Homo-oligomer: A and B are copies of this chain.
Amino acid sequence: MKIYIDEKILTKINKYIDLNSYTKLAVLTDKVISSLWLDKLKDGLKKDFLLITIKPGEKEKNLKTLTFIWQKLLENNFDRKSLLLNFGGGVITDLGGFAASTYMRGIDYINFPTTILGAVDASIGGKTGINFLGVKNLIGTFYEPKMIFIDTFVFSSLPKREFIAGFAEIIKHAIVADQKYFDFLLKVADIFDQKNLKKVIDWSIKIKTKIVQKDKKEKGLRKILNFGHTLGHAIESLSLKTKKPLLHGEAVALGMIGESFIAQKIGLLKKEDFFLIEEIIKKYQLFQKINLSKVYLKRLMINDKKNINQKILFSLPEKIGKAVFNVEVSEKIINLAIDYITL
Contact = CB atoms under 8 A, between A and B. Distances in A.
Interface of A: 23-24, 63, 67, 70-71, 74, 77, 79-81, 101-106, 127-129, 132-133, 135, 137-142, 217-218, 302-303, 305-310
Number of this chain's copies in the assembly equals 2
A87 B305 CA distance: 25
A210 B337 CA distance: 54
Contacts of A305: 79-80, 104
A332 to B, nearest CB: 21
Contacts of A67: 63
28 contacts: A23-B309, A63-B63, A63-B67, A70-B132, A70-B138, A70-B139, A71-B133, A74-B132, A74-B133, A74-B135, A74-B138, A77-B302, A77-B303, A79-B307, A79-B310, A80-B305, A80-B308, A81-B308, A101-B141, A102-B102, A104-B139, A104-B305, A105-B129, A105-B140, A105-B142, A105-B217, A106-B142, A106-B217
A155 B281 CA distance: 63
A142 B132 CA distance: 22
A171 to B, nearest CB: 25
A77 B132 contact: no
